[in-house]
Structure 1
């Protein structure tokens, strides 16, 4: 079936639906919503049999939904309407929620029902982004697959919906809190707005939107007081306890969401730092830290969970220190597990954009993340398992490819390419072709398309796929690690890896030097538009059109062309010859 995904952005859910439908043998394309006329023209050019809208904030023109079956995946149960469904559900402590597939009609979220699913919501308030990438994504995918099946059945008719009044968009006045309120109440307010739009408050005298909240252990301080700082977060006193706030976006024009300590800067003078090593015993079981290490017998477990998977130099240094500690232990297997929302998405573009010198910040960031990659590649004391519990993109995919075993959770999406005006590093020119072959590695870099776990394991990018449910995945991962911890087989694999690394004709330094040479041109001369692409990403600017690679096959409509690498301007503005860029994957040693 020819299926068009009409979306406001090609986000994680849209990518997951795109991958699943392609895996099922359908022709699938994407149209990024613009004006009503642009949508109508794009649909006409694509000529789909079915239009699915997994993530759409825009109104579907009547010209479209009156002529073609158009189904919207709404993140709310049957009868729910409005643009802030998840925000209200978390704020009000709903214990059951759902997703409904609705036919597009004139009224928003009021059309006949094609499919629906419900799921349980944890009693402890989940972060909105975690609810969206977890249960909502699972339910939406099931609805999408059911819709496709029903669309192929000429006898099917959607069920008319009982139309209730839509709930209004949640405003900051609905989200507001006072630091003197109860910890749990504040936590629920912030998590209902995370990752967007955040909750406007004041921290350390700075008006800012708060995100990434976690319970703290401190009690008895003046509400609103800054008590401590750790790993980019600040501990703020509440009415009956305290909360760690990991990220802030300064209010006003131009504010960028960054780690709280970065946003507060000089306002933190006198606020004590309370470092906590990855392997240290915390002051409480749920103490705030982004990297944790533990061991069970012959297996070391290194868990890192960075907000949105973004890794600034500080994150990289903490992970590197923990890796070196883990590698020094007398274990046989080291499991490197990322967060459930995201394994990693590479360098921290928000921190780079907010820096006084973005080029210097980008250079420091790529050098720092490369050190982590080198540590993984060069670890020969343990067999390393990279556990992708969450989706990954760009350098975040490449980060774990140097491991001996790559084990992903079912349903995550991998984007193994660079698409923001950067050549890329993370030693991908060494690790990627060794996993999938030089030709396929080049195609992945050039085609710039998402991969499902089914596709990734088929081409050798990953080795194993575990269950979708996070707890089931953890149990499966334990069994996998135990299987690889057999003393004899682990010793043989480690020895073979050491011999292979020692026998490389081209040293690892050469691969990194080649990559950094290319990156230096992207960062310091902006030859590929990194500055503009970074700003567009951070500011969430709408693209001018849909990238051609995402269009439905045979679509002759307008598309956003791929970025071209351009030459540099001379001192007097004279254009030099275009830079010739070598292939992304060098000739293998």
Structure 2
């Protein structure tokens, strides 16, 4: 079956479905929903058996859905309609939610239902739920729908308005007026729901230090209190603001006049936050120990790692190495393990080129420390997605473990032909072989855990429970630490590292990579700077990259063959 993914952008859910569909043998191509004419052209070129829309902001043209089966993936329960399904679910404190796969018709989200899947709601941001529970439920529902379509055995049903089994509602867009924070009266749980319902877009409109901002990345500030609305503390980039019964940490803000840059709160309010007391609590980096196993947790917003965060994590890594453990596990965050350098802070810098250079060197320093650790085994445990430099940072460890459903993007080229560093020219061929390394970096496609395991990038699958239960990872690490072959394996690790260094020093790999990166940052070709600006400012793409839109190159080849056959 040929499936065309029609998307507003290639977001996390679209990538997950692309990976799952491709892995199960479907022929998949992607088209960005630029305009109706482009969509019609894509359908004509690819001639799909099915159009699947996991992330759209416009209606599919009538002439397409009337003549070709089109399925919409809606992040809401059966009967729910409207563009803010997940926003309302978080804001209203729903305890259970779901995903519905329905057929496109004239009325939005009201067509025949092919499948649905539900899940319990966590106390989490909209974007976290979307990356995890919504994505998992969408995969389940999409494949249930495909099975029914392919078997032809089950006819779809409609969410009839008088059906008592239908729990969803037709809801309007969730506006800023629906989630205004009243700092004088709103308790902490209400403030958290309001901010989380708009994270990561559009953010909650508010005022801080008499400046109009949007708020993101909110967490309870345990043990803190003050006059409601007062900013009372700072910690690791976040500021604490008092509620009517406690306080919340606000990790990131965006100034209202700036339509793109979400930055750490203490970066935006550097002078104001400097006067605040620094207290523990926000803690994106923390360490814990379980017998012979150390676990170094780092949960950076959206997986972006700034220069300062890389330096702080490197310091925490050095402290962890001072502990008498046998295995050190790098856990990352449950949503994003790492996505490499912090493009937002780079974009905000006085000199983005200089900050790019500082940031890539800081993450390289961390990667080198991991690679050269020879007195214990190091494990990268991926419970969330990883992209670009984050993938290669994970490969610096001795083993890489990943949860089913994690998506890898082990390439840089879509960011303006960025060459990349993090010692990837050493780490990737060592794992996957030179031929596969070339194929992976040139393909520019997302990769699932199954494919990554085939290529040798993933060593072990984590249980699905690891997404919300970090002790599952710790238990697995215990077996590694107590293995009877542990000392022999450690000796072999030292031997291989010494042999590799003698063959070609790590410094040589780094120098070669950074020579290419210097051209990206300071050279005459501005592609990286343009691509970064467009990414941060969410500039819509004017066309779908050919690496995704397979039908375009295929279509051109078919047209060329037809012209040759006709003698034109």
Matches within 5 A, 1:170-569: 170-180=174-184, 181-274=186-279, 276=280, 287-418=281-412, 419-421=414-416, 422-470=418-466, 474-486=470-482, 488-503=484-499, 504=501, 505-525=503-523, 527=525, 529-553=527-551, 556=554
Which residue number corresponds to residue 127 of structure 2?
129
The CA deviation string for residues 444-494 of structure 1, in whole angstroms up to 9 with x for no partner, is: 111111111000001101111122233676454233211211265222222
Which residue number corresponds to residue 44 of structure 2?
44
Q: Distance in 2 between matches of 1:69 and 1:488?
A: 57
Please report the RMSD computed on the Cα atoms of aligned residues, expressed in angstroms.
1.8
**Helix, strand or coil: the match of 2:42?**
helix
Distance 1:20 1:526, change over 3 A: farther
1:545 and 1:558 in contact (8 A); partners too: no
Q: TM-score, normalised by structure 2?
A: 0.93
2:338 and 2:390 in contact (8 A); partners too: yes
**Helix, strand or coil: the match of 1:469?**
helix
Q: Distance in 2 between matches of 1:556 and 1:384?
A: 44
**Helix, strand or coil: the match of 1:406?**
strand
Which residue number corresponds to residue 572 of structure 1?
none
Structure 1 residue ranges (4+ consecutive) displaced by more than 4 angstroms after TM superposition: 553-559
Q: Distance in 2 between matches of 1:526 and 1:414?
A: 31
Q: Distance in 1 between matches of 2:467 and 2:177?
A: 37
**Helix, strand or coil: the match of 1:549?**
coil
Q: Distance in 2 between matches of 1:317 and 1:253?
A: 28
The CA deviation string for residues 499-545 of structure 1, in whole angstroms up to 9 with x for no partner, is: 22222211101111111111011011252601110011101111111
May I ask how many residue pairs the two structures share in their alignment?
A: 546
The CA deviation string for residues 386-408 of structure 1, in whole angstroms up to 9 with x for no partner, is: 10110100001111101111000
Q: Distance in 2 between matches of 1:558 and 1:213?
A: 49
Distance 1:264 1:472, change over 3 A: closer
Which residue number corresponds to residue 53 of structure 2?
53
**Helix, strand or coil: the match of 1:90?**
helix
1:42 and 1:558 in contact (8 A); partners too: no
Superposition deviation, residue 219 in structure 1: 4.1
**Helix, strand or coil: the match of 2:183?**
coil
Structure with the higher fraction of residues in helix conformation: 2
Q: Distance in 2 between matches of 1:259 and 1:484?
A: 37
Distance 1:119 1:558, change over 3 A: farther
2:420 and 2:513 in contact (8 A); partners too: yes
**Helix, strand or coil: the match of 1:370?**
helix
Superposition deviation, residue 252 in structure 1: 1.5
Matches within 5 A, 1:103-142: 103-122=103-122, 125-142=123-140
Distance 1:387 1:219, change over 3 A: closer
2:215 and 2:254 in contact (8 A); partners too: yes
Which residue number corresponds to residue 566 of structure 2?
none
Which residue number corresponds to residue 89 of structure 1?
89
1:203 and 1:224 in contact (8 A); partners too: no
Superposition deviation, residue 169 in structure 1: 0.6
Distance 1:557 1:78, change over 3 A: same
Q: Distance in 2 between matches of 1:167 and 1:233?
A: 34
**Helix, strand or coil: the match of 2:395?**
coil
Q: TM-score, normalised by structure 1?
A: 0.90
Which residue number corresponds to residue 575 of structure 1?
none
Distance 1:212 1:294, change over 3 A: same
Which residue number corresponds to residue 170 of structure 2?
166
**Helix, strand or coil: the match of 1:193?**
coil
Q: 1:29 and 2:36 equivalent?
A: no
Superposition deviation, residue 254 in structure 1: 4.2
**Helix, strand or coil: the match of 2:77?**
coil
2:546 and 2:553 in contact (8 A); partners too: no
Superposition deviation, residue 41 in structure 1: 1.5
1:466 and 1:473 in contact (8 A); partners too: no
Q: Distance in 1 between matches of 2:137 and 2:551?
A: 28
1:4 and 1:552 in contact (8 A); partners too: no
Q: Distance in 2 between matches of 1:347 and 1:325?
A: 23
Distance 1:425 1:471, change over 3 A: closer
Segments of 5+ residues of structure 1 without an aligned counterpart are 277-286, 560-589
The CA deviation string for residues 94-143 of structure 1, in whole angstroms up to 9 with x for no partner, is: 11111110100011001000001111113xx3110111111111110011
**Helix, strand or coil: the match of 1:514?**
helix
2:310 and 2:366 in contact (8 A); partners too: yes
Q: Distance in 2 between matches of 1:248 and 1:472?
A: 26
My pick for the range that moved more, 403-412 or 255-264, is 255-264
